[in-house]
Amino acid sequence: MIKDDSRPDIFIKLKERETRKWHVLYVRSRHEKVVNEELKESGFITYLPMVKVLKQWSQRKKWIEEAVFKSYIFIKSKRSELYDALRNPNAISYIKFAGEPAIVSEKTLELIQQMIESKTSFEVESGQIAIGKKITLKVGIFKGQEGKVVQLRGKKKLVIRIDSINSNIVINLDDIMPPEKL
């Protein structure tokens, strides 16, 4: 009987051709920074969006850096490498959409990075936001970005929905462009 050794080579070649995509890793609460650093030390490509916020305790105020998306880290990996990151004791699971690991587009992560770098005022809200008028921004750093306008707390907002983590980025439109441009 002739042994066919070509089959394992096929699987190796398929793994090599597999592309890296951005996935969402769910981690223990308040462990985002630690897990992010440990994953980077292990050779993973990660993105943890951070913002500085002023926190006030009873007698003092302090600027601290905190994760934009609580308990989430974006990790760029091949599908075959997904579960290697789960070896970290503070990593809980990957976010799934329709039974498959959720994928976040590079464009979405670039937009988040631009918002943070430009110090644009925004909020992150979990869950669904009411459907409103769809718009495309025509001026400013977010030119060409599409979103939904909703009325929240009396202000017009641009909502960028990230389905894979069931979150919305809410940008105050008054900070980006004059209201008459809407």
User: Does residue 125 contact residue 170 with C-beta atoms inside 8 Å?
Assistant: yes
Amino acid found at 4: D
Look-up of token digits 């809200």: 125
Who's near 50: CB < 8 A, 6+ residues apart? 33, 65, 66, 67, 68, 116
Tens digit of each residue's pLDDT (9 = 90 or more) over 141-161 = 667 777 766 555 445 677 777
Q: Where are the domains of the chain?
A: 17-104, 105-182
- 104: which 2 tokens? 């976040």
d(Cα 56, Cα 137) in Å, to the nearest integer? 35
Which position has the higher pLDDT, 125 or 82? 82
Tens digit of each residue's pLDDT (9 = 90 or more) over 55-86 = 998 899 999 999 999 999 999 999 989 999 99
Closest CA to 174 of 121, 134, 136, 129: 121
Lowest mean pLDDT among 73-87, 93-107, 109-123, 136-150: 136-150
Residue 40 — φ and ψ, nearest 5°? -65, -40
* pLDDT higher than threshold 90 for residue 169: no
Question: 0.85 exceeded by the pTM?
Answer: no
**Cβ atoms within 10 Å of 18's Cβ, excluding its own:** 13
Q: At the top level of CATH, which class does the domain 17-104 belong to?
A: alpha beta
